[in-house]
């Protein structure tokens, strides 16, 4: 696999897309490699069998590069990126990485992840979407689609900027503040129901928290399809803070 560092190479294309599409890009810089490592951490405990992984909102591929390091022959990765320029950057990045030469199937889609049509659920879903930039309905739709496509014991990982709701609301108009408050409430109730671990990453701009969720953690646990899959979610050990 070629040594490609999308973090630096993608900064300019990311920045120019932030300026023209802040509502959907929702960040001022790509995530740091440390946040990528933290969010992909659950793949260290991956099953031996081939797995399928979904990445939503890949941007310039910082998480994609980290996911690919954990994938093996027979695994599958589906990537959704809405922005056409970032999609173009990602497809060149994936051509250089050539995961298919290692037997990893990778499909890149220039589409809204809500249009996901995969019939089989994923073992691991990594979400880089900027929930704090969306309205509540969009957040609900995305969370519903992603959780519907997660296996009974799969892990859903996403991140949140640690300072976002309080700091951002200072710069917002009243209507936007109200939207952000509602989104924050919605995400909080989602994490209360589903989160089993989280990691603070200071070395990111802005600092961020990687959150790890599962289906039906509190109360209505779904049946596991095999005894091996019936494992209790393991807590995520804390990442050294940098
Ligand atoms: C905050 S950026 C994160 C990019 C990358 N994961 C990272 O951490 O650097 C969010 C990305 O999600 C994409 N995006 C926003 N809404 C989307 C949607 N509904 N479906 C797919 N991608 C979306 C944006 O174009 C942007 O590239």
The secondary structure element, H or E, covering residue 17 is helix 11-20
Nearest CA to ligand 1 atom 19: 112
Q: Encoding tokens for residue 143? A: 């969370």
* Pocket lining: 112 vs ligand 1, CB cutoff 6 Å: yes
Q: What is the mean pLDDT of each run of 10 residues along the chain (242 residues)?
A: 51 78 79 97 95 97 97 98 96 96 97 91 97 94 97 96 68 81 94 96 94 79 41 50 40
Contacts with 68 (C-beta within 8 Å, 6 or more apart), sequence order? 1, 77, 97, 99, 104, 106
Query: In the block, which residue shows the tokens 């990126």?
Result: 81
Ligand 1 center–CA 178 separation, angstroms:
23
The confidence score (pLDDT) of residue 234 equals 57
The secondary structure element, H or E, covering residue 8 is helix 6-9
The answer to whether 164 touches 132, Cβ cutoff 8 Å, is yes
The confidence score (pLDDT) of residue 20 equals 75
The confidence score (pLDDT) of residue 49 equals 97
DSSP string covering 217-238: -SS-PPPPSSGGGGPPPPPPPP
Question: What pTM did the predictor assign?
Answer: 0.87
Ligand 1 center–CA 36 separation, angstroms:
14
Nearest CA to ligand 1 atom 27: 59
> Any bridge partners for residue 106, and if so which?
77
Tell me how far apart the 2 most distant CA atoms of the chain are, in Å: 52
CA dihedral over 107, 6, 30, 23, signed as positive or negative: negative
The confidence score (pLDDT) of residue 110 equals 97
The CATH architecture one would assign to domain 6-216 is 3-Layer(aba) Sandwich (3.40)
Condensed to tens digits (0 to 9), the pLDDT of residues 69-101 reads: 999 999 999 999 999 999 999 999 999 999 999
The ranges assigned to domains in the chain are 6-216
The confidence score (pLDDT) of residue 102 equals 97
The confidence score (pLDDT) of residue 38 equals 98
Q: Encoding tokens for residue 191? A: 């994490």
Condensed to tens digits (0 to 9), the pLDDT of residues 27-40 reads: 878 999 999 999 99
Burial class (CB in 10 A: 0-12, 13-18, 19+), 114: middle
Q: Give the CA radius of gyration of the chain.
A: 17
- How far, CA to CA in Å, does 79 sit from each of 152, 168, 178, 222? 21, 29, 32, 26
């Amino acid at each position: 696999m070629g040594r490609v560092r999308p973090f630096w190479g993608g900064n300019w294309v990311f920045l120019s897309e932030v300026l023209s599409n802040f509502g959907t890009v929702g960040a001022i810089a790509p995530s740091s490699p440390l946040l990528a490592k933290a969010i992909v951490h659950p793949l260290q405990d991956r099953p031996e069998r081939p797995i399928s992984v979904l990445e939503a909102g890949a941007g310039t591929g910082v998480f994609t590069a980290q996911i690919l390091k954990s994938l093996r022959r027979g695994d599958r990765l589906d990537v959704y990126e809405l922005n056409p320029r970032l999609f173009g950057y990602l497809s060149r990045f994936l051509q250089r990485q050539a995961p298919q030469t290692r037997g990893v199937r990778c499909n890149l889609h220039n589409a809204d992840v809500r249009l996901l049509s995969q019939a089989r659920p994923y073992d691991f879903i990594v979400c880089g979407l900027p929930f704090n930039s969306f309205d509540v309905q969009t957040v609900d739709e995305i969370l519903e689609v992603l959780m519907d496509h997660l296996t009974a014991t799969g892990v859903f990982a996403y991140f949140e900027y640690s300072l976002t709701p309080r700091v951002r609301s200072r710069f917002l108009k009243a209507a936007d503040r109200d939207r952000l408050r509602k989104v924050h409430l919605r995400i909080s109730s989602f994490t209360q129901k589903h989160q089993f671990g989280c990691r603070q990453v200071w070395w990111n701009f802005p600092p961020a928290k990687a959150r790890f969720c599962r289906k039906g953690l509190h109360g209505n646990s779904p049946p596991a399809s095999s005894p091996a899959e019936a494992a209790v979610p393991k807590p995520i050990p804390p990442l050294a803070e940098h």
